Structure 1
Amino acid sequence: MEATEQPAERIDGGDLSCARLLILLRGRVADLPAGSIVHLSTTDPVAPIDLPAWCRITGHDYLGVAEPGPPPVYVVRVGASPVETRPDRPWHPVG
């Protein structure tokens, strides 16, 4: 699985809630080149649902779980043409 690729960025999401976690992730991936791998650790129980959904909305690739944890580490690959989302609502595209 590609989830084992070396990350360009590691993010400790701690116990952030969904919205705060996605705002943190969105800000970090904005500065990374397309194809970069991001490892995100979080104890948020809905992360396995929210992360794949957010990736579909924004054009990034959800690659699964790199480490089962605790806490689990999820893997995202930065997309080539990401969809911009609202600053206060990272799951709502701008426009």
Structure 2
Amino acid sequence: MTRPSPAAESVLTVDGTGLLCVTLLLRLRKKIDGAPAGTVVHVIATDPAAPLDLPAWCHMTGHTYLGPVPGERPVFALELTDGARTTRPDAPWHALEQGP
């Protein structure tokens, strides 16, 4: 599902060019930390696993995967949602355990 790109001022960009998805997710988590719900994030991802890993990460966290962004570069969009699950800073592919 691809949506039109929102205004540039509402978009964060995470450049993962040349990174494996493990490192890309570390960078993504750090970049979105503190960003408000509704923020659209464009992830530049050259790892061939990105089209599978990014939707899976969004599903795990509760963010909305928007799909590929048309253009020459491999860019994928997601939208940050209110109430998304927090992930571990050192392992963003794992949900952060919430205490009692």
TM-score with structure 1 setting the length: 0.88
Q: How many residues align?
A: 94
Report how far residue 88 of structure 1 moved: 1.9
Say whether residues 1:82 and 2:84 are aligned partners: yes
In the alignment, is the contact (CA less than 8 A) between 1:58 and 1:85 conserved in 2? Answer: yes
Q: 1:66 to 1:17 in 2, by over 3 A?
A: same
Say whether residues 1:37 and 2:79 are aligned partners: no
Report how far residue 2 of structure 1 moved: 2.1
**Percent of aligned pairs with the same amino acid:** 41
In the alignment, is the contact (CA less than 8 A) between 1:41 and 1:72 conserved in 2? Answer: yes
| Matches of 1:41 and 1:8, distance apart in 2 | 13
Q: Unpaired segments of 5 or more residues in structure 1?
A: none
| RMSD of Structure 2 on Structure 1 (CA) | 1.5
Report how far residue 77 of structure 1 moved: 0.3
Question: 1:60-82 CA deviation, whole Å, 9 max, x = no partner?
Answer: 1100011253x311001011112
Whose radius of gyration is greater, 1 or 2?
2
